[in-house]
Amino acid sequence: MTLKELAQILGLSPTTVSRALNGYPEVSESTRRRVAEAATRHNYHPNVQAKRLATGRAMAIGHVIPISTQHEIVNPVFADFIAGAGEVYARAGYDMIISIVADDDEEQAYRTLRSKGNVDGVIVHGPKRGDPRPALLDELGLPYVVHGRVSDYAAPYAWVDVNNTRAFERGTAFLSDLGHRRIALVNGLESMDFAARRREGYEAALAARGLARDPALMTAGEMTEAQGYDAACAMLSLPDPATAFLTSSLLSAMGVRRAIEERGLALGRDVSVLTHDDELSYMKNGTELPIFTATRSSVREAGRICAQMLLDRIAAGPEAPIATRLLEAVLVVGQSTAPARHLIAS
If the CB atoms of residues 100 and 208 are measured against its own copies, the closer one turns out to be 100
Contacts to its own copies from residues 289-318, by CB under 8 A: 289
Contacts to DNA from residues 148-207, by CB under 7 A: none
Question: What is the 3 state secondary structure string of the chain?
Answer: CCHHHHHHHHCCCHHHHHHHHCCCCCCCHHHHHHHHHHHHHCCCCCCHHHHHHHHCCCCEEEEEEECCCCCHHHCHHHHHHHHHHHHHHHHHCCEEEEEEECHHHHHHHHHHHHHHCCCCEEEECCCECCCCHHHHHHHHCCCEEEECCCCCCCCCCCEEEECHHHHHHHHHHHHHHCCCCCEEEEECCCCEHHHHHHHHHHHHHHHHHCCCCCHHHEEECCCCHHHHHHHHHHHHCCCCCCCEEEECCHHHHHHHHHHHHHCCCCECCCEEEEEEECCHHHHHCCCCCCCCCEEECCHHHHHHHHHHHHHHHHHHCCCCCCCEEEECCEEECCHHHCCCHHHHHC
- Does residue number 41 form part of the binding site for its own copies (CB under 8 A)? no
Phi, psi of 221 (to 5 degrees): 175, -170
For the chain, give percent helix, strand, coil, nearest 5.
50, 15, 35
If the CB atoms of residues 175 and 220 are measured against its own copies, the closer one turns out to be 220
- Does residue number 13 form part of the binding site for its own copies (CB under 8 A)? no
Smallest gap, in angstroms, from Cβ of residue 70 to DNA? 36
Contacts to its own copies from residues 55-74, by CB under 8 A: 58, 60, 65, 67, 70-71, 73-74
Q: Left, alpha or beta for 43 (phi > 0: left; psi -120 to 50: alpha)? A: left
- Does residue number 16 form part of the binding site for DNA (CB under 7 A)? yes
- Does residue number 251 form part of the binding site for its own copies (CB under 8 A)? yes
Query: If we measure between CA atoms, which residue out of 306, 324, 307, 302 comes closest to residue 94?
Result: 307
For 71, what's the count of Cα atoms within 13 Å in the CB-facing half-sphere? 6
| Residue 28 near which of DNA, its own copies, none (CB within 5-8 Å, type-dependent) | DNA
| Residue 90 near which of DNA, its own copies, none (CB within 5-8 Å, type-dependent) | its own copies
Contacts to DNA from residues 36-95, by CB under 7 A: 46-47, 50-51, 53-56
Applying CB under 8 A, the span of 11-19, 47-55, 131-139, 158-166 interacting with its own copies comes to: 47-55
| Residue 86 near which of its own copies, DNA, none (CB within 5-8 Å, type-dependent) | its own copies
If the CB atoms of residues 30 and 68 are measured against DNA, the closer one turns out to be 30
The alpha carbon of 169 is separated from its chain's Cα centroid by a whole number of angstroms, namely 20
| Residue 343 near which of DNA, its own copies, none (CB within 5-8 Å, type-dependent) | none
Binding residue (CB under 8 A) for its own copies from 34, 36, 107, 112: 112
Smallest gap, in angstroms, from Cβ of residue 45 to DNA? 7
Interaction mask 205-244, its own copies, x per CB under 8 A: -----------------xxxxx------------------
If the CB atoms of residues 69 and 337 are measured against its own copies, the closer one turns out to be 69
- Does residue number 317 form part of the binding site for DNA (CB under 7 A)? no
If the CB atoms of residues 138 and 282 are measured against its own copies, the closer one turns out to be 282
* Residues of this chain that bind DNA (CB under 7 A): 2-4, 11-16, 18-19, 21-22, 25-28, 30-31, 46-47, 50-51, 53-56
* Residues of this chain that bind its own copies (CB under 8 A): 1, 43, 45-50, 52-53, 58, 60, 65, 67, 70-71, 73-76, 78-80, 82-83, 86-87, 89-90, 95-101, 111-112, 115-118, 222-226, 251, 254, 261, 281-287, 289
